[in-house]
Homo-oligomer: A and B are copies of this chain.
Amino acid sequence: MTDPLRLGIAGLGTVGTGVVKIVQTHADMLAARTGRPVTISAVSARSRNKDRGVDLSGYAWEDDPVALAGRDDVDVLVELMGGTDGPARAATRAAIARGKHVVTANKAMLAVHGQGLAEEAEAAGVALRFEAAVAGGIPVVKALSESLSANRITRVMGVMNGTCNYILTRMEASGLPYGKVFKEAADLGYLEADPQLDVGGIDAGHKLALLASIAFGTQVDFDNVHLEGIDRITIEDITRAGDMGYRIKLLGVAQMSEARGLEQRMTPCLVPRKSPLGQLRNATNMVVIDGDSCGQIVLRGAGAGEGPTASAVMADVLDIARGLILPVFGQPARTLKAVPPAAASAPAAWYLRLSLLDKPGALARIATVLGDEGLSIDRMRQYGRHGEAAPVLIVTHKGTRDALDHAMAKFDATGVLSAAPVAIRIEEV
């Protein structure tokens, strides 16, 4: 194995440039670790003349990423263009069809077309790897598909969108409302061109769907990820949740049971402030994996950025250089199960924030509604009146989302609330 492994890099944004830098600065180290040189044959990007701060003069240039993928001197297509379809998918399919390996950071493409691409790659006997697509530099794809593969995974969860976690952290620290902090983040360039990809949970939902596939041996099913964004989170909830010992996170959770099916949620949740997830500040990512033998494994690191993402891309490249080639989602794609989505989410404790009017028996009526729906109260806190109403916080014992929805629907009829109630799931960590 002394033949070089020759890369064709499609996409020279931040991550592509980072990959070029690693190949250039660490050539000797990479060769020592894999037993063969890792080289770049050709590159492709939208603009040829942009100064990217790296020397590309030694590499062939292709305007068309599909042509890049088909070059005889390319062994691995490194796809860093992004996008569900278009050039990314066309180049990926072209590479596979020509018997070349593919390494990609493209969560959107795999979340939508992962099953088909995996079947094509496995039929062609090539690798299709995507460590960089989930949680940046954190090696979670490998952890799930290799390190923890003797475990029945019971739950995968995580904070996998750094921008959302930054916004929530900043709201708590500054006391500024969501809209102001969103604006700040936009001005800092932290948001995708379509910000809903971030704050709507779509980007993180893509990642969760990929992890769920590996964890449970199921076909990627992004359509059934229940998505709720962070735009409805108020400063008041951040503060009140803090009073009760929690922090609000945009948390992805995937769990599967034979009885209930596959549950995938990317929604704001409360987690204990003192838990690893609760301690996670700013743009850092964290993935928490529960397995029947390993117990709980927590992985933490940078979820984005040039270096961390390029590190993950290169991890996949080096595995290919070393001949470590697995099925795309850990087990052969044709054996991945199509599992029905869970009809209901797992029972949880709930945080409720109510604005209670100053009427006799008001709290009793609320408690009665909850009790009628089988939701018992774990903790309750009433604050002094603001205007005509008093904020009341309730943490329930575990109950179903159905029970909660029924209770929420009945609250209106009690006539004791001055505003719509807020309910947020409390995830057990």
Residues on A lying within 8 angstroms of B by beta carbon are 18, 22, 26, 29-30, 32-35, 131, 137-139, 142-143, 146-152, 217, 274, 276, 279, 291-302, 305, 307-308, 310-312, 314-315, 317-319, 322, 324, 326, 330-332, 335
Contacts and interface: CB of A to CB of B under 8 A. Distances in A.
Contacts of A296: 301-302
A314 B296 CA distance: 17
A34 to B, nearest CB: 8
Contacts of A279: 274, 276, 279
Closest 8 A/B residue pairs (Cβ): A139-B147, A150-B314, A293-B307, A293-B311, A298-B300, A294-B311, A137-B294, A297-B301
A404 to B, nearest CB: 31
Contact of A297 (B146, B150, B299): B299
Contacts of A302: 294-296
Contacts of A131: 147
A44 B259 CA distance: 39
A298 B299 contact: yes
Given A22-B293, A137-B294, A292-B307, A147 B142 contact: yes
Given A29-B152, A274-B279, 19 more contacts: A22-B293, A29-B217, A30-B149, A32-B335, A35-B331, A139-B146, A147-B312, A147-B315, A149-B318, A150-B315, A150-B317, A150-B318, A292-B307, A293-B314, A294-B308, A295-B305, A295-B307, A299-B299, A324-B324
B32 A331 contact: yes
A319 B146 contact: yes
A26 B291 contact: no
Given A279-B279, A300-B297, A322 B326 contact: yes
Contact of A293 (B137, B148, B322): B137
A116 B34 CA distance: 21
Contacts of A26: 150, 152
A206 to B, nearest CB: 21
Nearest to A292: B307
A318 B146 contact: yes
A165 B84 CA distance: 47
A331 B28 CA distance: 12
A279 B286 CA distance: 15
A332 B34 CA distance: 9
Nearest to A301: B297
Contact of A294 (B147, B276, B301): B301
Which of A26, A139, A217, A292 neighbours the largest number of chain B CB atoms within 10 Å of its CB? A139
23 contacts: A26-B150, A30-B149, A32-B217, A33-B149, A33-B330, A33-B331, A35-B332, A137-B295, A143-B143, A147-B315, A149-B314, A151-B311, A274-B279, A291-B311, A293-B308, A293-B311, A294-B312, A295-B307, A296-B301, A296-B302, A297-B300, A298-B299, A322-B326
Contacts of A292: 307
A31 to B, nearest CB: 10
Contact of A18 (B143, B293, B307, B315): B293
A2 to B, nearest CB: 13
Contacts of A305: 295
A385 to B, nearest CB: 35
Which of A34, A297, A312, A318 neighbours the largest number of chain B CB atoms within 10 Å of its CB? A297
A23 to B, nearest CB: 9
A318 B311 CA distance: 25
A279 B300 CA distance: 14
A219 to B, nearest CB: 14
A211 to B, nearest CB: 15
A150 B311 contact: yes
A207 to B, nearest CB: 17
Contacts of A217: 29, 32-33
